[in-house]
């Protein structure tokens, strides 16, 4: 077996994805964008065993400074979204790949791994549970675009249909890729997050949006819902990858909220994606995968559901226990058992940032051949 952590410049990352079903969350360009936002290092665990290949996009992070851990201790996490574990041609070698991941990660000082699995690419649970803890968070919503437009529309709730028709009668309309509205969308997004009281992790910086557009190029699209006076009422990002259209982030202007113009945005997105021969339109679930108002909004477009799981691996038990003990002594105990890793409950914004060319990071490009 060949198993190693590779950086974003390794050509095998993109070459593997080009011949394998995946989503944009798995791209090295996306990992780089999220890493810059999080102050982390974008890598991927890459392994080959016979004809099988495994890829796990990751961000390597320093341990919170307050824990005073050695500089060579790290943890890792999936980039925001649903990167998961990409396997080809089957899942048969998943146990071997997970075993190799744990051994190599442990040897290089990684304490824990937190992975966000992709709802559209379910994995066999038994191998995962041998090496870590699988947590089911809830459902996400998607539309099967292989169905006819008429059939899909029939599955849209009566309330959503009525609101969409009313918006059209009032002169609301959608535009595609009018990037002159991009800055306006970013401002609208931040205002939307403040209005709904979103967690800090959802307040992506303007640089995040700019970098996302620059790195994803023709894969990313901006859909805007405008009033009859061409004022921005709602907007969202649509990212297309190998037949999957993902509604990534969206926002609605407060003054038009009661009109629900975001319904027109979603309606435009799935129709356009179908015309581009996409097979699936996926737009996630509620906040934290809960069945909240956001989930109910999405549910009005389709009865199709997939399940979102996260996966937790304690790579090094001794280091994990030591960090949790230090965190406990500092009085920082997570309010929920769902918080993982526990010691990150005291995370501070002034923690060290991993820089792409940091010499410490060079040690994370590693290889083991068995």
87-97 tens-digit pLDDT = 999 999 999 99
Predicted confidence at residue 360, as pLDDT, reads 35
- The mean per-residue pLDDT over the stretch 217-239 comes to 98
Six-digit token string for 62: 């320093």
> Do 35 and 59 meet the contact criterion of CB atoms below 8 Å apart?
yes
Lowest mean pLDDT among 215-229, 303-317, 323-337, 353-367: 353-367
Q: Quick check: helix, strand or coil at residue 304?
A: coil
Q: How many Å apart are CA 368 and CA 370, to the nearest integer?
A: 7
Cβ atoms within 10 A of the Cβ of 31, count?
26
**Four-point Cα dihedral 212, 215, 220, 221, nearest 10:** 70
- 190-219: average pLDDT: 94
At 338 the pLDDT is 73
Given a cut of 60, is residue 363 above it in pLDDT?
Answer: no
Q: Which residues of 68-84 are buried (b: 16+ CB within 10 A; e: fewer)?
A: ebeeebbbbbbbbbbbb
139: pLDDT strictly greater than 70: yes
Q: Is the preceding omega at residue 341 within 30 degrees of 0, hence cis?
A: yes
pLDDT reading at 362 higher than 50: no
Q: How far is CA 121 from the centre of its chain?
A: 13
Judge whether 252 and 192 are in contact, CB under 8 Å: yes
| Ordered structural domains, the chain, with CATH | 2-137+309-369 (3.40.630.30), 147-278 (3.40.630.30)
pLDDT of residue 323: 95
* pLDDT above 70: percentage of residues in the chain: 91
Using the Cα atoms of residue 68, residue 71, residue 72 and residue 75 in order, give the sign of their dihedral: positive
- Structure confidence at residue 293 as a pLDDT band (50, 70, 90): confident
Q: What is the DSSP string of 151-214?
A: HHHHHS-HHHHHHHHHHHHTT-EEEES-GGGHHHHHHHHHHHHHHHT--GGG---HHHHHHHHH
Comparison of pLDDT for 328 and 57, the residue scoring more: 57
Q: What percent of the chain has pLDDT over 90?
A: 84
Q: Give residue 134's pLDDT band: very low, low, confident or very high (50, 70, 90).
A: very high
Q: Which two tokens stand for residue 163?
A: 């609101």
List Cβ neighbours of 205 (8 Å cut-off, separation of 6 or more).
Answer: 37
Instruction: Point out the least confidently predicted range of 68-72, 83-87, 102-106, 199-203.
Output: 199-203
Beta bridge partners of 116: 310
Give the angle 55-134-102 at the CA atoms, nearest 5°: 45
* pLDDT computed for residue 289 by the predictor: 54
- Averaged pLDDT, 342-362: 52
What are 40's two structure tokens?
């982390």
Residue 179: Cβ-neighbour burial (10 angstroms; 0-12, 13-18, 19+):
exposed
> In which band, very low, low, confident or very high, does the pLDDT at 292 lie, cut at 50, 70 and 90?
confident
Backbone angles phi, psi at 145, to 5 degrees: -80, -5
Per-chain mean pLDDT for the chain: 91
Rounded Cα distance, 78 and 335, in Å:
23
Banded model confidence at residue 136, pLDDT cuts 50, 70, 90: very high
């Amino acid at each position: 077996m060949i198993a190693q952590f590779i950086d974003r410049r390794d050509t095998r990352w993109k070459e593997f994805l080009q011949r394998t079903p995946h989503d944009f969350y798995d791209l090295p360009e996306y990992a780089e964008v999220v890493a810059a936002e999080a102050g982390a290092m974008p890598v991927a665990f890459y392994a080959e065993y016979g004809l099988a290949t495994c890829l796990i996009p990751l961000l390597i992070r320093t341990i919170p400074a307050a824990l005073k851990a050695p500089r060579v201790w790290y943890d890792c996490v999936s980039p925001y979204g649903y990167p998961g574990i990409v396997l080809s041609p089957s899942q048969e070698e998943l146990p071997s790949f997970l075993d190799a991941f744990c051994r190599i990660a442990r040897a290089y000082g990684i304490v824990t791994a937190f992975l966000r699995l992709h709802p559209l690419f379910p994995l066999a649970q038994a191998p995962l549970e041998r090496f870590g803890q699988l947590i089911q968070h809830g459902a996400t919503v998607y539309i099967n675009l292989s169905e006819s437009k008429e059939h899909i529309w029939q599955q849209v709730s009566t309330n959503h249909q009525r609101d969409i028709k009313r918006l059209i009668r009032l002169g609301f309309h959608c535009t595609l890729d009018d990037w002159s509205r991009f800055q306006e969308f970013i401002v609208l997004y931040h205002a939307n997050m403040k209005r709904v009281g979103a967690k800090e992790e959802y307040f992506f910086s303007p640089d995040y949006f700019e970098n996302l557009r620059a790195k994803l190029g023709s894969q990313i699209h901006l859909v805007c819902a405008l009033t009859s006076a061409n004022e921005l009422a709602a907007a969202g990002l649509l990212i297309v990858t190998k037949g999957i259209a993902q509604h990534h982030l969206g926002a609605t202007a407060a003054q038009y909220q009661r009109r629900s113009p975001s319904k027109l945005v979603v309606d435009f997105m799935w129709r356009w994606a179908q015309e581009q021969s996409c097979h699936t339109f996926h737009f996630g679930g509620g906040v934290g995968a809960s069945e909240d108002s956001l989930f109910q909004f999405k549910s009005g477009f389709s009865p199709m559901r997939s399940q979102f799981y996260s996966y937790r691996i304690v790579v090094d038990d001794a280091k994990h226990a030591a960090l949790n003990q230090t965190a406990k002594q500092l009085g920082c105990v997570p309010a929920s058992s769902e918080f993982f890793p526990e010691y990150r409950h005291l995370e501070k914004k002034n923690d060290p940032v991993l820089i792409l060319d940091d010499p410490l990071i060079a040690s994370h490009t590693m290889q083991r051949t068995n």
